[in-house]
Structure 1
Amino acid sequence: MQKNTFTPPTPEQRCAILAEYGKDCEEMVREDKCCKITSLSRSRRWELEQMGAFPRRKYLGRNSCSWLLSDVLWWIHNPPMIDNVNNPYERRKEKALKEASQ
């Protein structure tokens, strides 16, 4: 996986990440839910999407779009290296390593 672009998960990875969150099938996530999941503003997600660092939106019609839930969850667990985006999973790993070395 490149460090500055989003790489979509494989079908097996999609199933695994959805199962981890208790979902048995794929969902389409609309704007408000995507904001809650990622904690990123609409404009910041759009900027990241244009840079190739966030999953591409799927257009449902002329005035509506959504994202695949598995893509968004995968992005949270495996985010590209981007300025101004925190990854809590990395902080947990760093904390565990620090505690193990003491």
Structure 2
Amino acid sequence: MKSFNDFLNDDLLIFVNPAEMGEKAIVDGKELCVTITHNSIDEKKRLISRGYDIEPQGVYNVMMTMYVRLSDLGFVPVRGALMTVNDKEYTVIGAGEEKGLVTVRLERNGNAYN
């Protein structure tokens, strides 16, 4: 009989699966299955209200949240670290892990998500 954690792991496989909700991305030179959401101004306000120090670094800022399995990424990034996602360099503005899923909030200067 499957345990609760087995069911959670199965759900993670669906969440980051490119055939379902996820997509393939090159993260720090490694191809991973991730789910990426692009953050709006409202999301930026929400993050600020939760204590994230998000000060614009340039004229344009691109923010996104990336979800990836801990077993795939291998670590939880620290705030201020640099990460390259699909050949674009981002600064980690927040990260955490829960039940095997790493949530990474990223920001970079620019005016487009791609």
Structure having the larger proportion of residues in strand: 2
Report the TM range for the smaller structure's normalisation.
Answer: under 0.3
Q: Which structure's relative contact order is higher, taking Cα pairs within 8 Å and 6+ residues apart?
A: 1
Structure having the larger proportion of residues in helix: 1
